[in-house]
Amino acid sequence: MSEINELIKQIEELRMNVINTKEGRAYTDPVVVAASQKLDDALDRYQELLMKKVVPTNA
Closest CA to 49 of 8, 9, 12, 16: 8
Residue type, 37: Q
pTM assigned to the model: 0.84
pLDDT digits (tens, 9 = 90+) for 40-59: 999 999 999 999 888 766 65
The H or E element containing residue 37 is helix 30-54
Which CATH code fits 3-54? 4.10.280
Q: Write down the pLDDT at residue 32.
A: 98
User: Are 31 and 21 a contacting pair, CB within 8 Å?
Assistant: yes
Percent over 70 (pLDDT), the chain? 92
User: Are 18 and 35 a contacting pair, CB within 8 Å?
Assistant: yes
